[in-house]
Amino acid sequence: MSGEAQHGRRRRPSKMYMVASDYKVQDHLEGTIRLQRGQMCVEQEGGGGHRAGRGDYLWVKVIDNGSVVKVERQVLSEVSSDLAGLLEPVPELELRMKLLSRPQILQRFAALPLGSEVRVFWNRSQSELAEAELRYRGPLARGSSAVYFGVQLKGWAAGLGTSNGNCKGRQLFSCPEACGLFLPVSELSLPRPSQSGSAPVSILSRAAESGPPLALGQRVWFTQDEALQRGTVQFCGPLPNRTSTNTYVGVLLEHAVGSWDGYYKHTKLCSIPSPEFGALLPLSKVTAETRSERSPLAVTNPKPLPKLPPLALASKAGLQPGSPPQDRPLIQAAMLVTAKKALQPPSGSAPKVPLKPPPLATPKPALTPPPVPPNKPQALPTSPLTDHSRSSNGFHNLPSPPIAEQRAESGSWLEVGSMVEVNDPPLFGVIRWIGQISGLSEPVAGIELDQELSAATDGSYLGERHFRCPTNKGLFVKLRNCRRDSRFPEPELPINQVDRCNSIAFANWSSERVQDNTPPLTGRDARLAYEGFKKGIQGHLNSCYLDASLFSMFSCCSSFDWLLFWPTGPANSKSAQDLLRCEIVNPLRRFGYVCASKTMALRKLLKAETADSGFTNEEKDPEEFLNQLFLLLRVEPLLKIRSASQQPQQCVLYQLFPPSAPASPSSPLLSPVSPLSSPAAVRVSSVQALLESSFMLSGLKLTEAPSCLPLLMPRFGKEFKMFDAILPSLTLDITDLLDEGLRQCSICQLRAHWECLQCYEDVDITPGQLKQYCNTCNTQVHTHKKRHTHEPVELRVPEGCGEEGPAGARQLMHLFAVTCIETSHYVSFVRHGPQPTDWLFFDSMADREGGENGFNVPQVRACPEVGRYLSLSADEFARLDTASLRDPVRRLLCDAYMCLYHCPELSLYK
């Protein structure tokens, strides 16, 4: 083929898409795959063996998680490759959507020349920006399409970076050590143009409004002991060796009133000639000087100043820092009367204005500014606003409509971040600060207004900054004059979550009562009935311990059905049995779903029976639930276990215990991992090995074969697991654990008469396995000098059996469910058919609709892949690299909590 023909058949660039709305895809192996709005996708030509682009669907690969799925075209929005590369590194999906709606900003960053000045969002909570220079733009790894920006930090941020331009061994640009950063486009902003009043190009414009921190050499002022102090910035940035990123300012003072030598914890931050001329302050306490403040009227006297009214202080300084230029009035004409009315009792003779407050029955006293010393009247220059407004620095005593007395006194709903309103017609804003101000005995709120007000500030009062906000949006009012923002509905009152599942809000989630007895579902019928969302048992208020247990016991197995028909005595036992049978088990098998109100009713009965309120709202464990359920129903326990010659003890389940000392490396109890995967030994075991060792080392026997056998894995608490992985044996042989039975000799397979505990871990005769012998083999084994000290025990033989004869059939039990726990949440795996792939995975809280007062969405999905691992032999299982396991297999093998076994034949006798 010619080169031209080859060139003509080159693949076109793959199209890039963004998911425009949340979407669910059903996959036959992975189950339900959820795509989130804002995720990035790339078109796949092969589609995993299927042709792409046919009909209304496309095969795409989700860049965020690597899944290859078939998606409807209408769910995808095509994105040009140059913009897609910029959006891919942005971690917040919602922010990606916002950026995509502003392509002109993305294009400006894509075309920005190297060497351009940029700003880096350093601390979004405090709206801090750091100066930087663009040095690199492109991917960080070969083959990647994600575009990052490499910047060199400048000014106060120099030395606070993470590299010298090197990323994962590749030198993408060069800069001094710890001055380089690699960032997505969402972390950058362009500086404000020098000769233009337009706003800076910023991904989050709100964060850029307050500008960068102070520059070295900049003139600043602050208050100390009620006096104004001035100086120049010598240091600005976070303090070294501190986890906090708050910015501090080192100032060289004009007068000897300081106490800082330029060092912080033996680290020099700047040069200060003498500690008397140095001060280290938080950035919030320091204000940059304006030209007007450098006038001859500026206060530079280091002696403490008397307390001045806010207006007088602003007048002496020329203009409030951050205020508009002098040719712009401090308060617009339309606001003069409003300011006056805000601080004086209303009167009937006052002229009407647009923002006139409503008349009140009891006039509120005006806020009195700090008193002026009588011997310095010249400190109060005459101002046309002095007699009319008496407000500056954004402080107002705005009258408010009456509030409920208890709410006004406590103010318990008011906090930083509360959305409030003041005055009438109202001014709306958000509380940014609450505290005390000198001269006032009650708390004051600093509010960031939604709209500008000429009399407002940038978050400062009397020269002291309490919070940061844009100029003319900071207002200080008494806390009691704030009321809830009337534009939004009041938050819902706390809801009783225990009873909430019985409310009308749960109407769409309710399940029906089924009186007729319904057998469990198996095979294909089980998958059709159970698989999907809103299937299984709905979780609510820490109920996963109960949900997972009930689904394991009843969904696909009848071995626990005798609990539903056992003759009961007291009324509460009868109602609990009726509830369990007709409200939970039968509806689950008939419709594949049970709502949370039914399980909450059972939890209330458990609470009443045990006087333990935790059953309705707290986290519990499955063994607690099973024990209390059997007591509530007044039924016989499942197991009868004898220790030595003692009387049999009854219990509902059995806790497996590992040996007290490490087993031999050749023992199947602790099998080493393959040396190809890791040089270290991984602790793995099987349920069969754990059950045998636990019974043998404790000297226990089952007095009869149980119909069901719940086994707790050797795991204690959320953190401490005795084994890295446990293989749930599909078949459990309990023949040699029965107290009375016909057993085979471990050597010749004839009928055994003796058992030896000391031979269990003998390295010469298959360690880690039970040993029982016929008379001949017992004599031969214990003739050896190493076993002279052994003490064989004669086996019990059922009545009516002769001394000799063949051994009985093996007593086997079969695995039908596994309950697992991870981070305090229980889920379950249930076998629904005879095939190795017939496994279901159930999670009662797989999804959530709504917030705190929303609903948990249960899910059941097929998990055929776990069958392959459960079919492994003990040796094959020991060679697994557990670190490579993926969900749900990892959950089953590494987080097993309880394994449920049954013998269907024996269950019929119950």
**Spatial separation of the C-alpha atoms in residues 257 and 156, rounded to whole Å:** 25
Q: Point out the catalytic residue in the list 167, 469, 544, 777.
A: 544
**Spatial separation of the C-alpha atoms in residues 507 and 513, rounded to whole Å:** 14
Reply yes or no: is the peptide bond before residue 888 cis, omega within 30 of 0: yes
Q: Would you say 585 and 520 are in contact if contact means Cβ atoms under 8 Å apart?
A: no
Q: What is the number of other CB atoms lying within 10 angstroms of the CB of residue 179? A: 22
Closest CA to 689 of 697, 681, 701: 697
Tokens of 904: 């269907």
Tokens of 312: 């007088």
544 is annotated as an active-site residue: yes
Q: Across 139-288, where does the E strand assignment appear?
A: 148-153, 166-167, 170-171, 180-183, 188-189, 219-224, 227-238, 247-253, 263-264, 267-268, 278-282, 287-288
Q: In whole angstroms, what separates CA 371 from the centre of its chain? A: 52
825 is annotated as an active-site residue: yes
**Spatial separation of the C-alpha atoms in residues 867 and 435, rounded to whole Å:** 63
SS3 label, residue 480: helix
Q: Across 104-159, where does the E strand assignment appear?
A: 117-123, 128-138, 148-153
Tokens of 377: 């009247």
SS3 label, residue 791: coil
Tokens of 790: 């052994």
Q: Would you say 304 and 225 are in contact if contact means Cβ atoms under 8 Å apart?
A: yes
Q: What single DSSP character describes residue 894?
A: H
405, burial (CB in 10 Å: exposed 0-12, middle 13-18, buried 19+): exposed
Q: What is the number of other CB atoms lying within 10 angstroms of the CB of residue 562? A: 16
**Spatial separation of the C-alpha atoms in residues 424 and 419, rounded to whole Å:** 16
**Residues forming beta bridges with residue 78, ordered by sequence position:** 17
Closest CA to 689 of 632, 631, 738, 733: 733
Give, in order, the Cα–Cα distances in Å from 714 to each of 457, 682, 687: 64, 16, 10
H-helix or E-strand containing 725? strand 725-727
SS3 label, residue 882: helix
Q: Point out the catalytic residue in the list 255, 388, 814, 825.
A: 825
Sorted by sequence, the CB contacts under 8 Å of residue 430 that are 6+ apart come out as 417, 418, 419, 420, 447, 448
Q: Residues of 196-229 as b/e, b for ≥16 C-beta within 10 angstroms?
A: eeeebbbbeeebbbbebbbeeebbbbbeeeebbb
- Residue 762 φ then ψ, to 5°: -65, 120
Sorted by sequence, the CB contacts under 8 Å of residue 800 that are 6+ apart come out as none
What is the residue whose two structure tokens read 């030198």? Answer: 171
Q: Would you say 151 and 118 are in contact if contact means Cβ atoms under 8 Å apart?
A: yes
Closest CA to 360 of 373, 376, 348: 348
**Spatial separation of the C-alpha atoms in residues 479 and 416, rounded to whole Å:** 11
Sorted by sequence, the CB contacts under 8 Å of residue 46 that are 6+ apart come out as 52, 59
DSSP-derived pairing of the beta strands 536-537 and 593-594: parallel
The catalytic residue positions are 544, 825
